[in-house]
Structure 1
Amino acid sequence: MENVNKILRNGNRQDTIEAMESLEQVLQATEVNETSSMSLNNVVVFLHRPRGSFAGLQISASDSEATSDKTVTNSRVSVHLPSEINVGLNTVVFLMLTLPGTNKTSEVLFENRLVGLSVSGRNISGLQDRVNITMNMNSAAMNETQKPSCVFLDFSTQNYSTDGCDTMWKPGQSHITCSCDHLTYFGVLLVSADLPPEHLEILSYISLIGCSLSLLVLVLTVLLFMSKRKVRADVSMKVHINLTVALILLNVHFLPSQTVAALSSPGLCLYIALAIHYSLLATFSWMALEGFHLYLLLVRVFNIYMRRYMLKLSVVGWGVPAVIVSLVVVIDRDTYGTVPLDSSKPNSTEICYIVDHTVKMVTTVGVFSLVFLYNLIMLGVTIRRVVSLRRRKQSGHIDHETAKRDICTLLGVTALLGVPWGLVFFSFGYLTVPGLYVFCILNSLQGVFIFIWFLMSLRKIGNSAAKTSSIKTQSSNS
């Protein structure tokens, strides 16, 4: 037991499983008169050998004690073994282990606890009268985005499986019961709560329609930009059009991703996954550069000249994402592949994207978190500057037309900076469903908002040009 405890504290997954198997074999071979209980740090053991016919067994265990003849104080786990097991003169082994907290997946093992049940010399499975393992769970054990799922450790694959186990739990309950038809090592995984299928279908349609509409108007935006010579000379419009191109690339590759994944073409799926990852990072980069350009316009008003400014922005906006994606491919090409659209359901519809959870979190969520924080600050600076300018110009009355223009300007800046993307951080708990709907609608329609902003900018440039022409005409006449 001391050796197992040492491995539990310091060993890896393989060493831990081997130690569990070795300890179980030793305990099964241990001579027991009737019952025996022992514990040491992360291991609690209870052995039972019936004297007569086996009429079932009830075991209660805390972090330091296990017994069958009374309820222990601060009980964590209780087990009911049915008489169907009919152990005869063999020894029943109860083993409760606390594993090291090294889980690197999105699934969390409740309290890192496994409960092992076995009978010496026998393999128990296919029970009609099931084994029930009940674990106490406080309200702080999981958040609203998680739900418990009863699993057992499959020693052959070293993964958790739900085969032969039913989860008996309802929201608000302080305990969960795992009802299983075999004996092995059991635990409770806290997995992401499922979004109802009807919501997933609606969200999919919203994304499809919104992204298709955005793609159409974004292409129209680029065509308008290319057809207007005065617009092409405007630096701010050049920054906007680069963000537009990044979004076009993202939509062009995202829309067919589901179809490509269904084709079972590894090469084509790899390309789509790479393209989505790159264009998503490029979108984030140009959102950040929109914030940087806004900073120059509002804060460094009289000192904004930079030599080869657009070239430098392009190197950052298009080059940094290329470096990140290239590093991922060089390190592990298998990082890209087919992944379930609903991560909580492995058999759900698949798309071509990033397979590795860690890479996805670091290179997408991590990068966006930094961009979102920076652009949120830039939006705050913009609001402060607009309010400050209006206070200076106003003389005791409110110009409603000016206020409307200011609101439209701030909304346009919000879309360019990608601030609505930050709604993904609020898509949890009680806000899960409404938060996802708002996030899905606003972000799939980002291209539409940018197109509207572009039209407003064209009108502004046109009015400015007309005003300048009028002034020149008046000057020549005078």
Structure 2
Amino acid sequence: MMKDLTNIILQAMENKSSVSVSLDDISGIFVKPPNIEELKPAYFMYSSQFNIVEDATQMPKFEKAFSVPKEAFEKASNINISTLFASLLRFPKFPQDYKNSTLLNNEVYSIDMGREISNLTDTFNLTFRNVDLNASDPLCYSWDGRGATPNWTNHGCNTSYGNGSVTCACQHLTFFAVLMTPKPQKISSSDLNNLTYITSIGCVPPVLVVTAIFISQKYNKEDIVSNTGQTTSMCWITDPTVHYVVNIGYYSAIFLFTFLTFVVMLRWLWLLRNKRPTITTSGKSSRSSDALTIMGLCCILGLSWGFAFFAYGPMQIPAFYIFTILNSFQGFFMFVYYYKSSKLVGEAEASLEGSSTTTDATVVENPYGKHKTF
């Protein structure tokens, strides 16, 4: 599309040295060097439209200023090209990339000279002034025009700042834009010091334990040998007594607490089910929901780690497999638990709303152990 548009405009220009372009909301300018024997850089500004700037010293006065270096015209003239020109186009409302990046002023610029120009020593410059540098970090990016959506890259473009302005210095021709990157949220120094102090306190006593074990030389490299002779080394507690006290003993206390919590929650669920007789499902569906609920509770409380207790003797290898599989799918089980819990809550609310509209209904028990509503 860009090539077709360029050819149409160049043919319409004939012998003119410059022409303004307006197509829907796209605007731009095409220029031809007046003297091919004495090439000079080209300067432009944009306000409501593009204009050529004859005096380069006036460039700092304009909010949006652009320059095409002499080196770019020289490189283009050395290529077998029928017409030596430079075009600058502005594209507002440009399609967003897959990251939904925010563009400065929601606009993209393209510079074209009819051929691929790259690796310039004297760069193309695009300067934008009156930019709020406190709200976000503007960075210059380019895109080669390939693909359905922009694939922005900062390769070949440098960004510089000064007095509320952003300047893109690019070594090649392509589409250019300034992407606005949100600044990282800052916190006060007092909050940072408090959080650092809390973290130091938490570092969760274990530092003292690890230091004591290391000083007592109970922590060293341990080799794990397979039946094929393959050896894997890992750092671990080499003393069995220390291992049982530090690892097994600590986990046993945690496991006991979570197991008691598990029992309390099961009892709570059982009482909740008995208090809501209007929520009924088929026996098969109810049993599967109960199983998923219990599995989800086990994963949330970390009870699946309890299989580590059975990793001894003939149960060692089976316990390793069960332990690895269950804990690898811990996130999936928690998702299923959350989904089933949300579904049951929705059914309960719908059932309660339905029962509230039939205040005169009486529930009686029939001889077959089921309920009928009259």
Q: TM-score, normalised by structure 1?
A: 0.39
By relative contact order (CA 8 Å, sep 6+), the higher-ranking structure is: 1
Q: TM-score, normalised by structure 2?
A: 0.49
* Structure whose alpha-carbon radius of gyration is higher: 2
